[in-house]
Every structure is written in C-alpha cells, then in structure tokens.
Amino acid sequence: MFQVMKQPPPALLPLLRSAFQGELLAWLFLHPGEEYPQVELARRFKVSPASVTREVDRLADAGLVNDRRMGNLRFVSAATETPIARPLTELLALTYGPTAVLPDLLVGIPGLEDAYIYGSWAARYSGEPGGVPRDIDVIAVGDADEDDLYDAARRAERRLGREVNIRRVARAVWESTDEDPFLDAVRSRPLVRLSITREDSP
C-alpha cells in the first residue's frame, strides 16, 4: 500500500521554520489580492487555529502578511506591496507552489477523480534531502480528457516557472494489484495528494 505524505519537514526550503509556514506563505502569495479568515486557513491546512494564530503573528510582525479584524474574525493576506514580495513569490512558486497552484487548475475537470504529485518534488516535500526539483510530476486518476489535463499542465507551468507533467491513469489500473513497473515504483515512493474536489475546499 502506498503512503500519502501530510506534514513533512521543510526540506523543500530549509530556510523556513516549518512545512506549514511554507505552505501558508505559498498559498497567500500565489493568491495575491485574496484574504482568508484564519479559521479557513486552519481547515485548509488541517492544523489547529492556535497554530495559525502563532504563525500569522510571526509573519505579520515580520511584515510578510497583512491582517485585519472584522468582529471575531481575523483576515490574512499576502503583503504584496513590499520590496521582498516579488522575489519571495518566485521562491515560493519554485518550492511550495505546486500544492497552492495545481488544485485550482485541476478542480472541476470532468472525469478526474484523484491526483497525486510523485517523483522528486514529492520526495523533497516528504523530507528527503536533495536539490530543488526541475519539474513536477502528477498522476491523474480517472478518465479525464487528455486535452484538459494538458491545458492544466501548461497553465501550471506558467505560474510555477517549471515543467509540469500530468500522466493519466484509469482508476481500475491505479488500484490494480497486477504488476506494473512504473506504478509500482510510483506507489513505493512518497506521494502528495492534491485536494481537487470542491468538497476538499473550505
């Protein structure tokens, strides 16, 4: 049985304090102009509200995020007006960007049932040491149209600044116990599941 990685160490960008910090920053900076309630961020990243509060406090004190209160809600957005915003966005796109960008582009594609990042990016995300991956490899489970997946990959490349490869696999083949050298190799290594159904979104 393959293992789906959740909250690994920050091997993708060791400069950061934690994987959650990288995911949070990537989500905010790769969705510029959007603001999110802290409670929504906690649900999205499956962490406690207290963890989000602590991280937002640190990032706000550093001038990396903006926050405002409306009643009992605290809203958070990327501080895109600072000199560091553009280079930081580029760095985040190259590291934690795939989990922030790919779900937006894959959600709603007819016939797409599940999607996983595999290969070197998933290995770095899981905490395995190594260099920054040159490309992003995705398994698309289901019978989505190849043209839809191709278009999503090209849009992802423009936003992430690197090659994105999406390989379609039928559900029956993905779940089969028959020997398949490629899929056996994929399932034996770290996988990062992408939230591509609308129910996965807050």
Q: What is the pLDDT of residue 138?
A: 98
Is a pLDDT exceeding 70 seen at residue 2?
A: no
Question: Which residues, at least 6 apart from 195, have a Cβ–Cβ distance to it below 8 Å?
Answer: 103, 107, 201
Q: What is the pLDDT of residue 133?
A: 87
- Run of H or E including 114: strand 112-118
> Bigger pLDDT: 182 or 199?
182
**Residue 140 sits in which domain range?**
97-200
CB 103, CB 195: distance < 8 Å: yes
Residues 77 and 125 in one domain: no
The arithmetic mean of pLDDT across residues 144-158, rounded, is 97
The arithmetic mean of pLDDT across residues 179-198, rounded, is 90
CATH number at residue 112: 3.30.460.10
CA 100 to chain centroid: 4
> Bigger pLDDT: 8 or 158?
158
Q: How far apart are CA 159 and CA 32, in angstroms?
A: 12
For residue 14, being part of any structural domain is answered with no
CB 13, CB 133: distance < 8 Å: no
The arithmetic mean of pLDDT across residues 54-61, rounded, is 95
For residue 6, being part of any structural domain is answered with no
Edge-first strand order for the sheet with 65-70 is 35-37, 73-78, 65-70
Residues 90 and 101 in one domain: no
Domain boundary among 32, 62, 94: 94
Q: What is the pLDDT of residue 60?
A: 96
Domain boundary among 94, 117, 137: 94
CB 28, CB 65: distance < 8 Å: yes
Residues 73 and 134 in one domain: no
Q: Which of 134-138, 175-179, 196-200 has the lowest mean pLDDT?
A: 196-200
pTM of the model: 0.79
Is a pLDDT exceeding 60 seen at residue 188?
A: yes
Residues 126 and 170 in one domain: yes
Residues 68 and 150 in one domain: no
Residues 106 and 90 in one domain: no
Q: Mean pLDDT of all residues in the chain?
A: 90
Q: What is the pLDDT of residue 198?
A: 57
Beta bridge partners of 36: 76
Question: Which residues, at least 6 apart from 137, have a Cβ–Cβ distance to it below 8 Å?
Answer: 117, 118, 119, 120, 121, 122, 165, 167
How many structural domains comprise the chain? 2
Tell me the pLDDT tens digit for each residue of 99-150. Answer: 999 999 999 999 999 999 999 999 988 888 888 788 999 999 999 999 999 9
Query: What confidence category does residue 169 fall into, taking pLDDT thresholds of 50, 70 and 90?
Result: very high
